[in-house]
Structure formats: structure tokens, C-alpha cells
Amino acid sequence: MRASSSAAVASAACFSSSVMGRVSVRGSACGAVLTSALDEGNVNLKRVAAQLRMSERSLQRRLADEGEIFDAIVDALRRDLAPRYLADPKIAVAEVAYLLGYSEPSPFHRAFKRWTGRMPAEARRGAARA
């Protein structure tokens, strides 16, 4: 875990458990695993399934039973966490990208623009004014 991200991850862990709790397979254990995987930049189905002690196929099947898709869950968690991280001026925008599991900032910028219609720096300036 990056040293500068420990406070952000702590708040994300609390938040992710509430987001993940909507679906039974995504209880607090899954939320914690996803948050940890995001922070380490290694969020993938194989890792999350292994951490939950089930096969990838079993995880996919349980998610499908709940009408969910793994990539959509990860995208939703990133979308929900991004504004929280951006609201903290101590965390650089590039660090937010890494905290959300992106290997570099440009994919985060594109995703954030897709989610909100604005760039992360614009959102940060708007949060600072509020």
C-alpha cells in the first residue's frame, strides 16, 4: 500500500462495505478485498475470487445470480470513490488514479470524464469552492 494513501483507503474500506453490501456475494469481505485490490493496483476477478476462497467461475455465477457483472462492480466502486479521493487536496490527481487501480492517470481521466462529464481537475476545483 502506498504510504500517502492509508487514510483514503481507510475511508474507502468503510464506504466499500456499504456499496458492496447491496448484493449478498459482495458483502463486507468482498468490499474489503476489492478496496485492497484497487489500492494495490491489482483488481481482477482471479484475485478477488481467490481472496474469497472460491473459484473464478463460482464468483461469476454468484454475481450473475444477483444480476451483476464483476467489471461493472469495479467500475461502480471506482466511480463512487473517485470524488471522495478528489475532495482531499492532499492526494494528487495522479495518486487518485493509482488508488483506484489504474496503471496510469490517463485511463482514470477518461473514465472520470465518462462518469461525470468533466475532468478530475475540474471536479477538484469545484469541490474546493464548495
* Cα gap 86→8, rounded to integer Å: 10
| Grid cell of 68 as nine digits | 451483476
The model's pTM: 0.73
Asked if 39 and 1 count as a contact pair (C-beta separation under 8 A), the reply is: yes
> For the domain bounded by 3-129, which CATH number is listed?
1.10.10.60
Alpha-carbon torsion angle 14, 107, 4, 9, nearest 10? 10
Q: What is the pLDDT of residues 8-38, one digit of tens each?
A: 333 344 334 434 444 334 455 666 778 777 7
Q: Domain ranges in the chain?
A: 3-129
